[in-house]
Amino acid sequence: MVKTKHWVPLLPVLVFVGIVLILGRSLHLENRDTLPSAMTGLPLPSLVLPSLSGGPVNTRELKGEVALLNIWATWCPTCLAEHQYLNQLTQDHDLPVYGVNYKDDPVKARAWLAELGNPYVLNLVDNGQLAVHLGVYGAPETFVLDAQGIIRYRHVGELNERVWSSRLGALVESLREEAGVR
Amino acid sequence: MIAEIGHLALWLALFAAAGQVFSGALGVTLRHGILMAAAPAFALTQAVCAALAFVMLALAFLRDDFSLAYVAANSNSLLPEFYKLAAVWGAHEGSFLLWILIMSLWTLAVAMDTRLPLIAFKTAMLVVMGALSCGFLLFSLLTSSPFDRLLPFSPVEGADLNPQLQDFGLIVHPPMLYLGYIGFSVAFAFAIASLWLRPPDAETLRWLRPWTNAAWCFLGLGIVLGSWWAYYELGWGGWWFWDAVENASLIPWLAGTALIHSLAVSEKRGFFGQWTLLLAILVFSFSLLGAFLVRSGVLISVHAFASDPERGLFMLIFLVVVVGSALLLYFFRFPPSIAGNYGLWSRETFLLTNNHLLAAAAGTVLLGTLFPLVYESLSGGRKLSVGPPYFNLTFLPLAGLLALALALGPLMRWSRTPVRIILRQVAWLTGISLTAGLLLPLLLSDAFNPSLMLTSALAFWIFGGLWMVIRHESFVRNPSASRVGMCLAHAGFVVCLIGVGFSSTLSQSKNVLLNSGQETTLAGYHFRFEGVVRQRGANYLADVGILKVSPPPLLGWFSRSAIDLRPEKRLYPVRGNVMTEAAISPGLWLDLYATLGSPVGEGWSMQLHYKPFIRWIWLGGVLMALGGLIPLFGRRYRRVARES
């Protein structure tokens, strides 16, 4: 009786160890930032949206090359951090990045690009029509499109050196090879 | 320059906190008076430095110093000053600085409290709180300093505060929550000091009670604010989503509620000492766990900050050190158990039941919150979400059982209550609640509605019990602050219960397409659509729908006078945004709520909501918090604890 009583207080410790193991594992799980996207494997929905530079663009035209589709906004703090990396990425890798300026003020957006540099091939102005189809949680999010304009991967959150070197870089390379073979 | 002063102040705060830990620990070990007396001085220094750092960051915001990365990311020169100040805690780095400031203020409050003359014991508490501060400060300085500069290329203009955060409810919400979360560190430090030095006696436990109450009140108010904001801002009438971060605040609140009750038994009767100490450790551990879940990014939630695994790792290690060592200490210094000598029908039994139910409720919510992570780990990365069906199925029955026990608990005497008295009371209560449970639903709804009946029966069961408590001679003779507070908090529970039960069963809504001049009916209310007018606002153009609402003729006092609802659809030409402004007509008995959709042909689509008793949910929450606050002003807790 006495002995059982003595071991009871170990129970919280054990439960806690379990919780820590789970938390630690989810912290290091490879695809921590990937959300299953229902759109993976499907082409972009066909929409005609205005672009920041002027004329309307059909989303189906965004193909021909492996590319990134980056959802961003000037009201999004993380996008500011991400922006510098995007500038560097497009310089280093010769990779087209299509921007989706999400629920934003086009005037501010243009000023932001003029000031901080423009890594984008073009920028769609989206008040949510496209984002709803893509199931966007918030900015920033980045989708990887293959040469046929099909969504192959979704990354939620900031795109940075770590994300690129651990996942996106390799994926983009393999998609490019795939496109080259065809 | 401002930022450098702030940064330096943070480092100084860290040294002060470390000084507090070392001088205190050495002083307690050697029983050295001067070393122990140094700890409060260090606590004061730490608080001053933390406040200085906070003020410096605020100044950087007010002066639009966009060379600071944090300011550039969260402010803009055009942002009103009020929001610039609020932006200080608008994102991860700054809100953590607020967290540090609040921690240092709670520490200072404990250090200055003269009602606890046990020098060694209080110093031990300061050691624990200082160690926590050290961890928080290191985390901020090493992984998320708000004072990092964007040099040499600093932007001319900032990125602006997230528009969703530009709202009064959301500005007060985090400080309230943090005051609650961190307030529980007092109870945590108390538990550690008890395990370290000596088991607590009635006097020191009494000293702890107002601290726990205060933290609990702040946390409760923070939760209420968040829920209220979700209701009016998100625009579809929901008020609780079982979102991971909401749960992260609910779990410590539930455990804190249990702690408040078990402290009562421990203080007054000397029982449950082991359990009380464990709870004191757990409540704060849940707060830390919540902070981890929000800030590490392991969970996907509307609240999540931009995440970074390094931060997550640091926090996890911190969590392991703090909670792990506390629980191990608890295991090795397991306090001696005092066999409780009380009968089945006693207040002790009911408070124990309360604790079991609240602990089970906290455990259920914790399980539901962490289960997606468990599943993800075990299934190799597949995702799963646990939603309202799970929580409704597990949490609501526990709340119901709690409501059953809640009416009887305060009627019980300590130690033993004569069964004769209980039977008489239970008979009365059963009568009242059955009558009300059958009659009230008929008044409110024409259909047979079991959950409505259950809610009203439970509500009158508790109200009946409270009425008996208030009428009882011991209450009439001495309506002390503690008793009044208890009754108010319990009344708040019922009000909240009624709000949840009635609003979820009686609410109605419909989507309609109306041409101007057409009418529709919802829950007896006639909505006549008068058409849409175009209005010009300060920086937007609005289509304003005009709905003339007339109440049903027969409900009398329960109904509303005729009103106009004016839901809007605003176009902000500068941003190019279209925003929907719901028209909410709030009332104690019911809210009417309309949102404007889009034009369809000649008419407009719109959504109409009828939400009775919805305000009672938050009213109940506020009453509970008030009930917890009132005892703090009573005479009982002003007495100085004597050394026994």
pLDDT band at A30 (very low <50, low <70, confident <90, very high): very low
CATH number at residue A132: 3.40.30.10
Residue-range definition of the domain harbouring residue A68: 33-181
A151, part of any domain:
yes
* Cα gap B572→B316, rounded to integer Å: 43
The residue that leads in pLDDT, B73 or A83, is A83
A24 vs B: CB within 8 A: yes
Number of C-beta neighbours around residue B14 at 10 A: 21
A12, part of any domain:
no
The residue that leads in pLDDT, B556 or A62, is A62
A125, part of any domain:
yes
* Distance between B76 CA and the closest CA of chain A, angstroms: 10
Q: What is the mean pLDDT of each run of 10 residues along chain B (644 residues)?
A: 93 97 95 92 97 96 89 81 87 92 97 87 96 96 89 68 68 92 97 90 90 96 90 72 85 96 89 88 94 74 57 89 94 77 86 93 92 79 74 90 91 86 89 87 76 90 91 82 92 94 87 88 88 80 88 64 83 62 84 83 85 93 95 81 53
Which chain A residue shows the shortest CA-CA distance from B320?
A20
> How many CB pairs lie under 8 A apart between chains A and B?
119
* Cα gap A152→A41, rounded to integer Å: 6
Instruction: Measure CB to CB from residue A127 to each of B306, B313, B576 and give the nearest one.
Output: B576
Q: Answer yes or no: pTM beyond 0.80.
A: yes
pLDDT at B644: 45
pLDDT band at A1 (very low <50, low <70, confident <90, very high): very low
Q: Do B334 and A9 touch (CB under 8 A)?
A: yes
Instruction: Measure CB to CB from residue A105 to each of B297, B373, B575 and give the nearest one.
Output: B575
Inter-helix orientation angle B2-30/B92-112, to 10°: 40
Q: Do A16 and B163 touch (CB under 8 A)?
A: no
A28, part of any domain:
no
Residues of chain A neighbouring B327 (CB-CB closer than 8 A): 12-13, 16
B312 vs A: CB within 8 A: yes
Phi, psi of A160 (to 5 degrees): -145, -175
* Cα gap B58→B85, rounded to integer Å: 6
Number of C-beta neighbours around residue B175 at 10 A: 19
A156, part of any domain:
yes
Sheet holding B508-514, edge to edge: B508-514, B603-612, B590-600, B583-585
Q: Do B324 and A30 touch (CB under 8 A)?
A: no
Res. A32: pLDDT tops 50:
no
Q: What is the ipTM of this complex?
A: 0.80
Instruction: Measure CB to CB from residue B306 to each of A104, A137, A157 and give the nearest one.
Output: A157
The residue that leads in pLDDT, B322 or A39, is B322
Length of chain A: 182
pLDDT at A91: 84
Task: Specify the number of domains making up chain A.
Answer: 1
Instruction: Measure CB to CB from residue A27 to each of B69, B298, B300 and give the nearest one.
Output: B298
A19, part of any domain:
no
Q: Do A80 and B574 touch (CB under 8 A)?
A: no
- CB proximity under 8 Å: A 28-67 to B: 28-33, 35-36
pLDDT at B320: 94
pLDDT at B596: 84
A23, part of any domain:
no
* Distance between A43 CA and the closest CA of chain B, angstroms: 23
Percent of chain B with pLDDT over 70: 90
Residues of chain A neighbouring B157 (CB-CB closer than 8 A): 111, 115
* Distance between B41 CA and the closest CA of chain A, angstroms: 35
Residues of chain B neighbouring A156 (CB-CB closer than 8 A): 300
A75, part of any domain:
yes
**pLDDT tens for each residue of A99-141:** 999 888 888 888 888 888 889 988 988 877 787 777 776 678 8
